[in-house]
């Protein structure tokens, strides 16, 4: 199943599109523009393939209050507030594949001015020149993938980055076709039902968080 998550205020019982380009985080925009040269659109809507955790649905805000006891010690009351997000599950999505872990590596290079394909190539080559590559490859499998691509950037992205492994991007998404609609509470469920989402497809997941 393919999963997509968004804030409830941006949910429609209809087709949705990416945020306007002037609303995209400046940190991410250079990478999105670069990806757009290959997938054909920018910005993109992102979906996780099989791994719902990658969507950010479980993100929460933490707060705490402390109270001094009579013996001088403190008791702490922690509160967890989930962001007002909804996750949608789809059976089949025909999108443009982007490997999650390699994409995260790319983000750190395209987020700064002047960092581009040449910078990534140079960085990977520097890693691949270590005297003992075995521990480096064990820690960073991307180095082995780079070597398997004969250190050629176009081969590397076609073979490993643009591989349907854990996420895809699309230019738009019809939320009403979702087979699952997952929310945090009954209030969200009621709102989604009023929008038109089918009752049997809406699921409330009360997530339990362990605070260390």
Domains of the chain: total = 2
For residues 57 and 132, membership in a common domain is answered with no
Residue pair 173/45 in contact by the 8 Å Cβ criterion: yes
Res. 197: pLDDT tops 70: yes
Which residues pair with residue 203 across a beta bridge?
182
Residue pair 85/205 in contact by the 8 Å Cβ criterion: no
Question: CB count, 10 Å around CB of 1?
Answer: 17
| pLDDT (0 to 100) of residue 156 | 96
For residues 155 and 170, membership in a common domain is answered with no
For residues 48 and 90, membership in a common domain is answered with yes
pLDDT tens readout for residues 132-189: 777 778 778 898 999 999 999 999 999 999 998 899 999 999 999 999 999 988 999 9
For residues 85 and 127, membership in a common domain is answered with no
DSSP count for the chain of H helices, then E strands: 7, 11
For residues 59 and 147, membership in a common domain is answered with no
pLDDT tens readout for residues 105-138: 998 887 655 567 888 998 889 888 866 777 778 7
For residues 24 and 94, membership in a common domain is answered with yes
Residue pair 18/95 in contact by the 8 Å Cβ criterion: no
pLDDT tens readout for residues 74-103: 565 555 455 788 999 999 899 999 999 999
For residues 34 and 105, membership in a common domain is answered with no
pTM, two decimals, is 0.80
Unique residue bearing structure tokens 């082995």: 144
Give the CA-trace dihedral at 5, 90, 28, 205, to 10 degrees: 20
| pLDDT (0 to 100) of residue 147 | 92
131 preceded by a cis bond (ω within 30 of 0): no
CA distances to 15, 90, 107 from 170, rounded to whole Å, are: 12, 13, 18
For residues 82 and 177, membership in a common domain is answered with yes
- Listed in sequence order, the residues at least 6 apart from 174 whose beta carbon sits closer than 8 Å to its beta carbon are 14, 15, 16
For residues 209 and 157, membership in a common domain is answered with no
For residues 45 and 142, membership in a common domain is answered with no
Q: Could you tell me whether strands 202-204 and 180-183 are parallel, antiparallel, or unpaired per DSSP bridges?
A: parallel
Which of 172, 36, 163 is CA-nearest to residue 110?
A: 36
| pLDDT (0 to 100) of residue 158 | 96
| pLDDT (0 to 100) of residue 145 | 93
| pLDDT (0 to 100) of residue 112 | 57
Supply the range of the domain harboring residue 122. Answer: 99-161
For residues 31 and 86, membership in a common domain is answered with yes
pLDDT tens readout for residues 14-70: 999 998 888 888 888 889 999 999 999 999 999 998 877 778 777 555 445 566 676
| pLDDT (0 to 100) of residue 211 | 39
For residues 122 and 191, membership in a common domain is answered with no
């Amino acid at each position: 199943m393919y999963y997509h998550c968004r804030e409830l205020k941006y949910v429609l019982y209809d087709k949705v599109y990416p945020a306007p380009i002037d609303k995209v985080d400046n940190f991410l925009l250079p990478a999105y523009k670069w990806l757009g040269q290959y997938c054909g659109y920018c910005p993109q809507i992102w979906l996780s393939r099989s791994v719902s955790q990658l969507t950010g649905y479980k993100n929460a805000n933490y707060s705490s209050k402390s109270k001094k006891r009579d013996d001088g010690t403190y008791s702490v009351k922690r509160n967890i507030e989930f962001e007002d997000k909804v996750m949608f599950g789809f059976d089949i999505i025909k999108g443009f594949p982007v490997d999650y872990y390699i994409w995260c590596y790319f983000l750190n290079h395209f987020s700064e001015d002047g960092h581009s394909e040449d910078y990534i190539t140079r960085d990977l080559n520097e890693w691949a020149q270590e005297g003992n590559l075995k521990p480096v490859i064990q820690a960073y499998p991307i180095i082995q993938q780079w070597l398997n691509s004969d250190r050629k950037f176009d081969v590397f992205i076609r073979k490993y980055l643009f591989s349907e492994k854990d996420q895809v991007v699309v230019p738009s998404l019809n939320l009403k076709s979702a087979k699952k609609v997952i929310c945090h509470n009954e209030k969200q469920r009621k709102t989604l039902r009023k929008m038109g989402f089918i009752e049997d497809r809406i699921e409330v997941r009360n997530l339990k968080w362990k605070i260390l």
